[in-house]
Homo-oligomer: A and B are copies of this chain.
Amino acid sequence: MITIDLDSKEPLFSQLINQIKKAVETKKLSPGDALPSIRQLANELELNSKTVAKAYSLLERDNVIESKGYRGTFVHPQAPKNVQVDINDWLNEQMQLDVARYRKAGATDSEIRIAFTNAVSQTGN
């Protein structure tokens, strides 16, 4: 059902995310459907469980799937809506605008990078 291309430039966890999202779009996965457990899927695809866990946690953040602890992981009730929304698309747009703003103010790319590193690492996440 899910295939992984080890030679792709696309990261493994990202391939997982996109394939699950596509499965929801194409109705191969419906709200409430159970997903394979992290360790199961990792075993089938011969991936590390941490890689699958990363994909799952990001999918859960975007409300595409729902973790129910010891009961397993399921497709989120609003998954069909939420697969359309990609936070990274929004993020890339905003970032382009912000960087353009910094450059227009005369900042060097190097200075912008340093300020960015400060903002991300200084302010705890």
Contacts of A120 in B (CB 8 A): 99, 109, 112-113
Q: Say which residue of B87, B111, B113 sits within 8 Å of A87 (CB atoms).
A: B111
Size category of the binding interface on chain A: 20 to 34
B61 close to A88 (CB less than 8 A): no
Contacts of A61 in B (CB 8 A): 106, 108
Contacts of A113 in B (CB 8 A): 120
A119 close to B103 (CB less than 8 A): no
Q: Does A3 contact B (CB under 8 A)?
A: no
- A108-125 interface (Cβ within 8 A of B): 108-109, 111-116, 118-120, 123, 125
Q: Does A96 contact B (CB under 8 A)?
A: yes
